[in-house]
Chains A and B, each alone.
Chain A
Amino acid sequence: MQSLIRYAAWMIASALLFSCSESEPPIDQGPTPISLDKPDYFSDQQVMPSDNPLTEEGVRLGRMLFYEKKLSQDGTISCSSCHQQEKGFSDGLQFSPGVNGTLGSMNAMALSNLHWQTRFFWNGRAVSLEEQALIPIEDPKEMNLPMKEAISRLQGDVNYPGLFQAAFGSDQVTSENIGKALAQFERTLISANSKFDKWIRGEVELSPEEELGLELFFTHPEPSIQLRGGNCGDCHLGFMTSGDPNGFAGFHNNGLDSDKSLKSGLESVTENPFDKGKFKAPSLRNIALTAPYMHDGRFSSLEEVLDHYNEHIQNSETLDVLILEASNEILDPAEPIRLYLSAEEKQAIIAFLHTLTDEEFVSNPKFSNPFN
């Protein structure tokens, strides 16, 4: 505990050093560089892509494109239809309707702190935000708009050519610059003012139940030394509560299905049978607002999620070893995989998960619909 107190003191000191968001406007006409408004306990290791530095004009354009319904075939939906701010940039549905009501097959992912993630989509098929941002525009199950048509709609608009000029120095709309602008806006979606953040910064105390939940969340159980754990933090790492950003290390088979019904997941990207059934470990920030859960939205509540990890793990060839090997009781290897958390412990973890809700993030006017 001593180091924790020391850490809290350090955080208070460093809170004064929060990186600032805007610098002086330059004398020339280029876009105005800005930096991410992030707390010091978010890693500095992730560098901004050198070909897409963050600028005020780029972010402004990206925000408009994010809410732009012209980017769907029939003009009915935008990125924000499935990524709604008040729901932590998710949509509350198991599967999201695209144009003409076509349903997708994966749960719309919540968006936050994306600058610290390295692979996008549940199966990791996009290597950058820039690449990811363009794919739903053309996906027949989503916005279903050929890129050529998207470009010509924006080029023919009264405002967009000027906005592209301001952001990228050319009024010619290109798919590359659409992706870059969307990525810039998405990088600014930083959630860092939840109760958990305030606790990290030493500004608030957690309730005893939340504190128990936090301890359990970040502990892998070790029954032989009576160390109880919920086994969550093995995949949802550190302050970000998101997956390991190195390579595909943040993709796991979390025991949803047995070998018979295992979906391909990461295997469809790597073509490695060892990756079958692995999906991205998402960030859990704002998780209480982003139901339903899992890549296929099969669980409607956090209670169901905890029940899954506690007592319904399905074994399979690629089941993550940290799930295969995790229990609060010493088990015979022939017994089914069970965590053996108590009802109170499951409730405590859920209480901790609620501390990840960031009200400021979901109501921040900078992230809202600019057309309203």
Chain B
Amino acid sequence: MNVEITFENTLNGNTLELNQEIFTLPSGESFMVKKFKYYISNVILTDSETNTQYVETDSYHLMGQDFNSAIELGMIPSANYDQITFSIGVDEVANSRTDQTGDLDPNNDMAWNWNSGYKFVILEGEFIHQSTQERTGLVFHIGNNQNYATVTLPLSGLAAGKSASISLETAIDELFSNPNSLVPSNLASTTVMGGPVADQIGQNYADGFIKAN
């Protein structure tokens, strides 16, 4: 059966648009998104009744708004898959080498440099700072092995032998909330590339950031 996985990116319940639309963050601040990219890796489909699994090999996908919104699994063994498992980011093995090609090519803008692995989630944009009313950049480049997050979601409607499109949805709001609330105007640094705030964002995207549509 032929299977693809599509991603729709949202913010505040609306379909994401880069550069144009002003969105409202959970903090109430206005936010314009300029770049949004993330790795989805190690995709597994499970039929829990028969305990059949399809495990994609070499499963690393760089997704992003205006960049790539679908993963083509192609023809896979037929089963009544009712669960999807994948990870946000790049596993420790792949994250420790940069001699890779395809979506892990270190020449794309997801490698930090040659000795420190990959950015798992990139969000860049602008907001109006509450205290100064100035246009301020917000840059989240989140990586590091502790922020590699594995997600399992239930699927419905897939039937053995029939082509299927699995629709997933990302909610950028979830980077800013649940369990850690982030208010950009209150951040000590509006560039977050490591350290405790990056790990808070990692905890935020581990749950609820990607949902089945």
Contact = CB atoms under 8 A, between A and B. Distances in A.
Interface of A: 1-4, 6-7, 10-11, 14, 41-45, 116, 200, 215, 218-225, 227, 233-234, 237-240, 244, 246-247, 249, 274, 321-322, 324-326, 330, 332-334
Nearest to B113: A218
B139 A322 contact: yes
B195 interface: yes
Given A4-B114, A237-B107, A238-B111, A330 B189 contact: yes
Contacts of B136: 324-325, 333
Interface residues of B, number: 46
A197 to B, nearest CB: 13
**Among B112, B117, B193, which residue has the most Cβ atoms of chain A within 10 A?**
B193
B108 to A, nearest CB: 7
Contacts of B139: 220, 321-322, 325
A325 B141 CA distance: 12
Contacts of B126: 321, 324
B137 A321 contact: yes
Contacts of A332: 132
B109 A43 contact: no
A234 B109 contact: yes
A222 B193 CA distance: 7
16 contacts: A3-B116, A3-B117, A215-B113, A218-B112, A221-B191, A222-B192, A224-B188, A233-B113, A238-B105, A321-B124, A321-B125, A324-B135, A325-B190, A326-B191, A333-B134, A334-B134
B178 to A, nearest CB: 23
Nearest to B137: A325
B129 A3 contact: no
Contacts of A321: 34-35, 124-126, 137-139
A50 to B, nearest CB: 20
Interface in B122-155: 124-126, 129, 131-132, 134-139, 141
Contacts of A7: 97-99, 114-115
B19 interface: yes
B129 A247 contact: no
Nearest to A45: B105
Interface in B18-42: 19-20, 34-35
A322 B191 CA distance: 9
Contacts of B188: 224, 330
A238 B119 CA distance: 14
Nearest to A214: B113
B189 A247 contact: no
8 nearest CB pairs, A to B: A325-B137, A238-B107, A224-B189, A218-B113, A324-B137, A225-B195, A4-B115, A321-B137
Interface in B50-106: 66-67, 96-99, 101-102, 105-106
A52 B190 CA distance: 47
A354 B107 CA distance: 20
B157 interface: no
Interface in B141-189: 141, 188-189
A237 B66 contact: no
B137 A43 contact: no
Contacts of A237: 107-109
